[in-house]
């Protein structure tokens, strides 16, 4: 149980990847704080963890609200004490469609939840981590962070910003033994897939890919959950400032972990001209 006794706070824990992460962390011995905007879904995640013998604390929270975030973290501290691991998983996908036709209120709301929500939650918790000189921060990225994603401009921009925030905080917090990483969870069939299907032609080519995934199934969310569990554990100490793919990167291999620790440019966002990194075959 590589997380035994650790306190892990997970945003967006009501369903999908967030629920898978919560279940995995609890199975590995963590005390889990579950945050989500939807209380009914949060209750189901909490129920499943309790049935496993875990110790969940479920708090309804809109991470785009500074007051909500402050209240949730205060409640977590009073219940479990120091929060050793933060998992920024909560996020939304709309608006879907051409940028020139996008609803700007929806566009701003996407940034408020995906980016500002992550910033607010991290800022609230990192103060304690700095004081104790220890901590792990893990944020979910992907979805346009490493390449263009037409018709999903707000989502792609917010997730790219999260990766750059990850790299910046990793450098800033390294002296305090706080590891900060981002992960790409893969093409998991969640509510976001339903949103793409509903958008139809507004989603462009992704609508066709979504139909295929609906029929054959997406990536297993446990891949992302297991990577989060590893990054939350002491086994990942010294790995920081990286964007790691749950599906494509061989993160379980010692040689890959060594390169993550030793190669400053590896698994990061960089402009690379006349320089090539190794590429793994699909």
Contact (CB, 8 A) for 242 and 230 = no
Rounded Cα gap, residues 250 and 114, in angstroms: 27
Residues 6+ apart with CB under 8 A from 51: none
Secondary structure string (H, E, C) spanning 51-95: HCCCCEEEEECCCCCHHHHHHHHHHHHHHHCCCCEEEECCCCCCC
Q: Are 161 and 144 in contact (CB under 8 A)?
A: no
Q: Are 34 and 58 in contact (CB under 8 A)?
A: yes
In whole angstroms, what is the distance from residue 91 CA to residue 117 CA? 9
Number of Cβ atoms within 10 Å of the Cβ of 150? 14
What are the residues facing 88 on neighbouring strands?
139
Q: Of 155, 180, 193, 233, which is the active-site residue?
A: 155
Q: Is 44 exposed, middle or buried (0-12, 13-18, 19+ CB in 10 A)?
A: middle
176 is a catalytic site residue: no
Q: How far apart are CA 194 and CA 179, in angstroms?
A: 34
Residues with catalytic roles: 155
């Amino acid at each position: 149980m590589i997380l035994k006794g650790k306190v892990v706070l997970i945003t967006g824990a009501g369903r999908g990847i967030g629920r898978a992460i919560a279940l995995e962390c609890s199975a590995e011995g963590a005390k889990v704080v579950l945050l989500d905007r939807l209380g009914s879904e949060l209750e189901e995640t909490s129920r499943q963890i309790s049935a496993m013998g875990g110790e969940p604390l479920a708090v309804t929270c809109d991470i785009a609200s500074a007051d909500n975030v402050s209240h949730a973290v205060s409640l977590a501290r009073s219940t479990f004490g120091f929060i050793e691991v933060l998992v920024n998983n909560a996020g939304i996908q709309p608006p879907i469609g051409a940028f020139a036709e996008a609803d700007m209120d929806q566009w701003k709301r996407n940034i408020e939840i995906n980016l500002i929500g992550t910033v607010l939650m991290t800022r609230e918790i990192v103060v304690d981590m700095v004081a104790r000189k220890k901590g792990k921060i893990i944020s979910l990225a992907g979805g346009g962070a490493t390449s263009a994603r037409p018709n999903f401009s707000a989502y792609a921009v917010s997730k790219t910003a999260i990766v750059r925030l990850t790299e910046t905080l990793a450098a800033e917090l390294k002296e305090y033994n706080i590891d900060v990483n981002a992960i790409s969870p893969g093409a998991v069939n969640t509510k976001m897939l339903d949103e793409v299907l509903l958008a139809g032609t507004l989603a462009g080519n992704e609508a066709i890919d979504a139909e295929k995934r609906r029929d054959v199934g997406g990536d297993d969310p446990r891949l992302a959950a297991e990577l989060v569990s590893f990054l939350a554990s002491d086994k990942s100490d010294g790995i920081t400032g990286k964007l790691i793919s749950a599906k494509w990167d061989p993160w379980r291999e010692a040689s890959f972990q060594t390169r993550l620790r030793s190669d400053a440019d590896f698994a990061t966002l960089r402009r690379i001209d006349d320089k090539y990194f190794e590429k793994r075959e699909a």
